[in-house]
Structure 1
C-alpha cells in the first residue's frame, strides 16, 4: 500500500516566499532552513531577494502598508501537492504567522506556485497559483531561477509573463540567502 501524501517519483516544484514583519531577511532564512530540515524540497535553488510594496485592498488599515521581501525557490519534492502545502503551512505556523486575514502583514507567507505540469483546483490549493501570472513579486524572482519554465494552462513561460507585466515594482534587495546548516 502506498501513502497518497508521498511518491516514489519526484516532481518539480516552485514556491514563493514573502515577509513584511520583523527581521524580514532572517525570516526568509528561517523558512528555507525549515524546508530543508524537513526535506520538503530537495536540491533547492533560491532566487535573489526582492523588495516590493505590500498589496493591499483600498480599505486596509494604513499600518498594514509595510514593504515585503520576496523570493522563490525551486527544486524537487516527493510530497503530493496537498501534503506539501500542509507542511509549508506548518512552517508558517511555527514561525508565528498569526492573522489569516487577507492582505494583513505576515512574518512569512509561503505559496506553491507551480508543481510539475499539474493543474489543480481544490478549496485549499490552486496550481498554478491563481494570481501567479499577475504578481511581480512572484514572477520576477521566479524568472531568475526558472525563466523558460512554462506555466501550465497558459501558452507562456515565466520570462514571457514577466515581459507582459503592466507594472513591475520589484526592486533587487539581496543575493540569494545562505541557509545551509
Structure 2
C-alpha cells in the first residue's frame, strides 16, 4: 500500500455534496482507504478568476493502485459526478488531483508527481499542511510553504468553512486512525 495525498475542489452546485460523494467513492473501493481528511477551505478561484469561489480540501489515502491506475480511478469519479471537459481552470462540479505518492517521482504527459504547481497554491497547501505538515515538497515542508503563501494572500483568499467541514465529516464513515 502507498500513501497518497490528494486535493479535491468544487465551485458548482452543491459543492460540499460533490466533495463528500467523491471521498465516499474513493473510500468505498477495496483498493483505497481514507486515512485523514482536512477541513474544508473556501478559496478564491485560481488561474481563471471570473467564477464562483471554491470549496477545497485535501485527503490522505492508502492505496494498492499504481499511480496511473489511481489517476484513472479519480478521473472516473469526476465523470461519474458530472464533470465534463471545460475550459482550463474553469468552473467544475468536482476536481481531484493527485499531489504526492510516497517515494514516487514521475513526469509524463498524463501524470506528473509531485503535482507540478502545488507549491504555488495556498488552496492546496493550507489543507495539506493541516493533515501532513511535515510532508516535504520542492525541498521544503508543506507547513512552511503554506505559511509563506499565507503572508501573500488576501484576507478571504483561503479560510476554513466550519459548516462545510462538519457536513463533510458527517457524511464520512469514521476514518481509520482518528
Range into which the TM-score falls when normalised by the shorter chain: 0.7 to 0.9
Q: Does 1:180 align with 2:168?
A: no
1:66 aligned residue (49, 52, 60):
52
CA distance in 2, matches of 1:101, 1:77: 30
Number of matched pairs: 165
Could you report, residue by residue, the CA deviation over 1:74-117 in whole angstroms, capped at 9, with x for unpaired residues? Answer: 02111011000000000000000013420210000000000002
**Pairwise CA RMSD:** 1.6
1:41 aligned residue (24, 32, 35):
32
Detail structure 1 runs of 4+ shifted over 2 Å in the superposition.
Answer: 178-181
Q: SS at 2:46's partner residue?
A: coil
Sort the Cα spacing of 1:80 and 1:101 in 2 relative to 1 into closer, same or farther, 3 A: same
Could you report, residue by residue, the CA deviation over 1:104-150 in whole angstroms, capped at 9, with x for unpaired residues? Answer: 10000000000002111110111110110000100000000000111
1:160 aligned residue (131, 138, 144):
144
Q: Does 1:148 align with 2:134?
A: yes
- Structure 1: runs of 5 or more not aligned: 1-9
Answer yes or no: is the 8 Å Cα contact 1:15–1:110 preserved in 2: yes
CA distance in 2, matches of 1:100, 1:124: 17
After TM superposition, the score normalised by the length of structure 2 is 0.87
After TM superposition, the score normalised by the length of structure 1 is 0.85
Give the corresponding residue for 1:95. Answer: 81
Q: SS at 2:77's partner residue?
A: helix
- Structure 2: runs of 5 or more not aligned: 174-178
Deviation of 1:40 after TM superposition, in Å, equals 4.8
Sort the Cα spacing of 1:77 and 1:110 in 2 relative to 1 into closer, same or farther, 3 A: same
